[in-house]
Amino acid sequence: MSQPEYLIAGNWKMNGLGADADALAKGVAAGASSAPAVTELLVCPPYLHIDRVSAALAGSGAQVGGQDCHNEISGAFTGDVSAEMLADMGCSYVIVGHSERRDGHREGDPAIWAKASAALRAGLKPIICVGETEQERLAGKAEETVARQVRACTPDGVDGSKIALAYEPVWAIGSGRTPTRDEIAAVHKAMRDALEDMLGADAGGGIRLLYGGSVKPSNAKEIMTLDNVNGALIGGASLKAEDFLGIAATCA
């Protein structure tokens, strides 16, 4: 079966205690059946809340994912969680290479490639994050930087329906600032070209490319209607069910 055109993914980051996660997940579950048929809804809570969020979303059609994973199956990796553990908890996706991991945990492209490969090994779909810093954009190197990250982080030979990539300019995350429509379209085109070149037109052309960075209900439509934009990765606005669902609604 072909996948829905848009993946709308919420990254809850390190927010909320159990009761908050329950309330937010119930809000998403309550509205999920009204989301446009072209959308697939995903929420990525903190690890500790995955089980309760899965329970709250059961039967709603919305899915649960992890925010990161280790590349090994098991072992002496204090504080880490494997892709197999996430799959065992009912996750279907995992975010890898978020800029907060690249920056705060010093993860580079080879580590992100290994995590994406681990996710595929475990039957999870990785959402591979890429994006330029503000200095790289000001230097006119946004497309070049992102295309390099795409090539370095995407596992060879992957089936395009088994992964997604998210363009998240580092300077747009949580800042309230977004690139212009032309800037987003240019980077997504560079990502598509790199993927088609690497994987062939069918696999590379079928990969959903999400935009992330200060997406909210009021700006989502203008972004979601761009060529090669096939969804959103949402931080702050995903912490309110109404806003998360409001973003999905713009895809109709």
Of these, 66, 206, 212, 231, which contacts ligand PEP (CB under 6 A)? 212
- Cβ within 8 Å of residue 244, ≥6 positions away: 8, 10, 28, 41, 43, 234, 237, 238
Using CB under 6 A, which of the segments 20-28, 114-122, 192-200, 207-215 binds ligand PEP? 207-215
Classify 223 in phi/psi space as left (phi over 0), alpha (psi -120 to 50) or beta: alpha
Regarding 228 and contact with ligand PEP (CB under 6 A), the answer is no
Of these, 203, 213, 245, 247, which contacts ligand PEP (CB under 6 A)? 213
Of 13 and 148, the one with the shorter C-beta distance to ligand PEP is 13
Of these, 43, 233, 245, 248, which contacts ligand PEP (CB under 6 A)? 233
Instruction: Output the smallest distance, CB 142 to ligand PEP, in A.
Output: 16
Q: Cβ-closest residue to ligand PEP?
A: 235
Regarding 174 and contact with ligand PEP (CB under 6 A), the answer is yes
Regarding 236 and contact with ligand PEP (CB under 6 A), the answer is yes
Question: What is the C-alpha separation between 212 and 215, in angstroms, rounded?
Answer: 6
Contact 9, 210 (CB under 8 A): yes
Q: Cα dist. 119→22, 31, 68, 124 in Å?
A: 26, 29, 10, 5
Of these, 25, 41, 112, 234, which contacts ligand PEP (CB under 6 A)? 234
Active site residue 49: no
Task: Name which of residues 31 to 70 contact ligand PEP (CB under 6 A).
Answer: none
From 40, 70, 84, 98, the catalytic residue: 98
Question: What is the C-alpha separation between 39 and 35, in angstroms, rounded?
Answer: 7
Of 84 and 149, the one with the shorter C-beta distance to ligand PEP is 149
SS3 197: helix
Of these, 4, 16, 155, 235, which contacts ligand PEP (CB under 6 A)? 235
Burial 184-193 (b: 16+ CB within 10 A, else e): bbbbbbbbbe
Q: Which residue's structure tokens are 């992890």?
A: 66
CB atoms within 10 A of CB 45: 29
Q: Which residue's structure tokens are 């995407």?
A: 154
Regarding 210 and contact with ligand PEP (CB under 6 A), the answer is no
Amino acid letter at 60? S
User: How many residues interact with ligand PEP (rule CB under 6 A)?
Assistant: 13
Regarding 11 and contact with ligand PEP (CB under 6 A), the answer is yes
Q: Which residue's structure tokens are 């590379």?
A: 204
Regarding 110 and contact with ligand PEP (CB under 6 A), the answer is no
From 84, 132, 143, 168, the catalytic residue: 168
Between the CA atoms of 109, 110, 115 and 117, what dihedral angle is there, to the nearest 10 degrees? 110
Regarding 109 and contact with ligand PEP (CB under 6 A), the answer is no
Regarding 173 and contact with ligand PEP (CB under 6 A), the answer is yes
- Which residues are identified as catalytic? 98, 168
Report the interface residues with ligand PEP, using CB under 6 A: 11, 168, 173-174, 212-215, 233-237
